[in-house]
Amino acid sequence: MEDLDSLRTIGSAIDGRVPDDHPADAWEDRKLSYRLVNPANRRKFTIIVVGTGLAGAGAAAALGELGYTVEVFSFHDVPRRAHSVAAQGGINSPRARAVDNDSVDRFVKDTIKGGDFRGREADAYRLGQEGIRVIDHMQAIGAPFAREYGGELATRSFGGVQVSRTYYTRGQTGQQLQIAAAHALSRQVAAGNCRLHSRQEMLDLIVADGRAQGVVVRDMVSGKVRAMTAHAVILATGGYGNIFYKSTLARMSNATAIWRAHRRGAYFANPCFVQIHPTALPLMSQWQSKKILMSESLRNDGRIWAPARAGDDRAPADIPEAERDYFLERRYPAFGNLVPRDVASRNIRERIEAGYGVGPLRNAVYLDFADSIARLGRAVIRERYSNLFDMYQDQSGEDPFEVPMRIAPSVHFSMGGLWSDFNQMTSVPGLFVGGECGWGYHGANRLGANSLLSGCVDGWFTLPYSVPSYLAPLLGTPLLPLSDPAVTTAVHDVESRLSAMLSAGGTRPPDSFAAELGEILDKHASVTRNPEGLRLAIAQIRALREEFWTGVKVVGSGDRLNQELELAGRVADYLELGELLCIDALDREESAGAHLRTDHATSDGEAMRDDERWTMASAWEAAPSSGVGAGKPIRHFEPLTFVAVPLEQRNYK
């Protein structure tokens, strides 16, 4: 096993470019200092947006309406298929309409504390401040939020908070918001301000003169590889949870766009911070292709429990109340079933591994609605969660009105992503990020319902300010010609990589490598981690990477639709990212949020941070190919400071 110094090199501190103000004032001050582009000059700038989820569709529609020339790329056939549709339970906003003592300051405290003090405080303020107007905006463009009897928009609570700030559309919030955003984008396409390129997968970033100036894409139908240049590039391509193979993400969700950008110079922040969602459906069989999310909103009215006796195989109705262990309520009486996701997931996994699991495979615990049904009635519960209950019954064959749901933790959201400064710009000038492929808001653990909010805030209310400020000094700068060496080199690199996969001549399908990587990560870098397991995982992933390039079998050719070729490229990126994830987890010698090192835990199993050494974001530079440190990624770091929310150990008891 290699020691840590042989795996990585320590770099230097980097500047997040946060204004020297109180964090609560930083965003307003920054907006006032941004440079502007005359409306008559905006059409002279071309902006590429990759991804059409909430962040991508919002940024493209907003910039298009402002008058910029926007080129939008999606590997889907239509924008509304982006994975934002999968979010269920709601979107946060600290509008304080419930008269329960909510505020922007409380929102920031919950977000920073929920992320275990590993997010940027000024970013959390922007998320809350702009989040106030997100609800009205999304409602205005068509999102049908639930309402109370008197007409006021309805709210409910989510994990990690004690107020009601989550707006929702039953269990379909992501779908309804995505439809509204896609319609707004379609309006700009029809107006000629945005041009949509469907079924196009980004496979490389073009960097010339130290700036991001375009992308290389492959037409997924014809197989044609081509380049497009622009004055700025926005990546809004989602998270990398599918690196674990079976997750709650759609099977097409992947990390290729951000990973190829990383290889071109964009720093990758905190890859080890991957969220395990506590309420997914347990695997019913090893042949199940993915895991299925059950919204965290269910924890408002459902109570989580396991039998008090290990190995109890009685039906839940036959287990009397005195023989049930409502372990979250027992361990965390102040928050109960509404503890943050990382806390809930660790406790659920602990109960299962200790022998208290239920179901045919004993790989779940119960989420029980009997008390709420008795108190509120079936009609109220059905109104709140009808599609979730229907989905559960379709998948399990059991009616949650009659028997408790069975739930288990599953990989869900990645808090890590491309590092960006306060302007959402990466370490590559001209390359911006939005939504889950970035890193700034959530720290080491995302609070439920902050995901949809961050996508909306980035797309509609951040990038349309910061990107023009970057573009303003470039007025009169022509687009990079397609004949430029930076363009032809990037296209050649993509074609060579595709050719290498097609000609590998192995016997293993790409999916088998993805499955093996997922097993390694699930065992050694999931809910809990330890140094010995992480070192073993790194060695195993390196061996798997080496085998991939000689052992993979990609059927078909590259000049037509070839989903095996698409998958092979994504798996190759997973293997590289998986190694960096484990190196980051080994390097971060503390526990924080979703990253729990068993050698850095309290006596009762809670995360134990090391604020002296690790109050910072790790920002990884791709390994240099030659010179000192060749082959080893370089860990730079952004120090994090907390003014409004002083550092403290989290306590949900």
pLDDT of amino acid 579? 98
What is the identity of the amino acid at 423? N
The yes-or-no verdict on residue 291 having pLDDT over 80 is: yes
Report the share of the chain in percent with pLDDT over 70. Answer: 100
Residues 565/570/575/577 CA torsion (nearest 10 deg) = 160
* Mean pLDDT value of segment 567-582: 98
**Least confident span in 223-227, 274-278, 417-421, 624-628:** 624-628
Taking the whole predicted model, whether its pTM rises above 0.85 is answered as: yes
Contact 301, 405 (CB under 8 A): no
Question: Tokens 């190196």 identify what position?
Answer: 583
Band (629; pLDDT cuts 50, 70, 90): confident
Contact 281, 396 (CB under 8 A): yes
How high does pLDDT run on average in the chain? 96
Length of the chain measured in residues: 653
DSSP string, 27-53: HHHHHHHS----GGGGGG-EEEEE--S
Contact 462, 456 (CB under 8 A): no
The yes-or-no verdict on residue 289 having pLDDT over 90 is: no
- Kindly report the number of other CB atoms within 10 A of residue 57's CB atom: 34
First to last CA, the chain: 39
* Mean pLDDT value of segment 541-563: 97
- How far is the C-alpha of 475 from the C-alpha of 269, rounded, in Å? 31
Q: What does the block give as tokens for 91?
A: 């979107």
Q: Which domains does the chain have, with CATH numbers?
A: 277-412 (3.90.700.10), 483-616 (1.20.58.100)
- How far is the C-alpha of 139 from the C-alpha of 459, rounded, in Å? 16
pLDDT of amino acid 483? 98
Tens digits of per-residue pLDDT, 514-530?
Answer: 999 999 999 999 999 99
pLDDT of amino acid 286? 79
pLDDT of amino acid 54? 98
Q: What is the DSSP letter of 302?
A: -
- How far is the C-alpha of 2 from the C-alpha of 44, rounded, in Å? 52
pLDDT of amino acid 630? 81
The yes-or-no verdict on residue 440 having pLDDT over 90 is: no
pLDDT of amino acid 489? 98
* Mean pLDDT value of segment 445-452: 94
DSSP lists the bridge partners of residue 276 as: 411
| Own/partner long-range contacts of 151-156 (Cβ < 8 Å, ≥24 apart) | 152/97, 153/97, 155/97, 155/98, 156/90, 156/297, 156/300, 156/384
Q: In this structure, are strands 324-325 and 303-307 parallel, antiparallel, or unpaired? A: antiparallel
Beta strands in 188-241 (DSSP E): 194-197, 200-208, 211-219, 225-229, 232-235
Contact 129, 112 (CB under 8 A): no
Band (351; pLDDT cuts 50, 70, 90): very high
The yes-or-no verdict on residue 1 having pLDDT over 70 is: no
The yes-or-no verdict on residue 71 having pLDDT over 80 is: yes
The yes-or-no verdict on residue 474 having pLDDT over 90 is: yes
DSSP string, 453-494: HHHHHHHHHTHHHHHHHHHGGGTTPPPPPTTSHHHHHHHHHH
The yes-or-no verdict on residue 625 having pLDDT over 90 is: no
Q: How far is CA 325 from CA 260, 306, 351, in A?
A: 47, 5, 10
Contact 418, 281 (CB under 8 A): no
b/e burial code for range 403-438 (CB count within 10 A of at least 16 → b) = bbbbbbbbbbbbbbbbbbbbbbbbbbbbbbbbbbbb
- How far is the C-alpha of 56 from the C-alpha of 460, rounded, in Å? 9
Beta-carbon contacts of residue 565 (< 8 Å; ≥ 6 apart): 498, 501, 502, 554, 556, 558
Tens digits of per-residue pLDDT, 130-182?
Answer: 999 999 999 999 999 999 989 999 999 888 899 999 999 988 999 999 999 99
* Mean pLDDT value of segment 602-613: 91
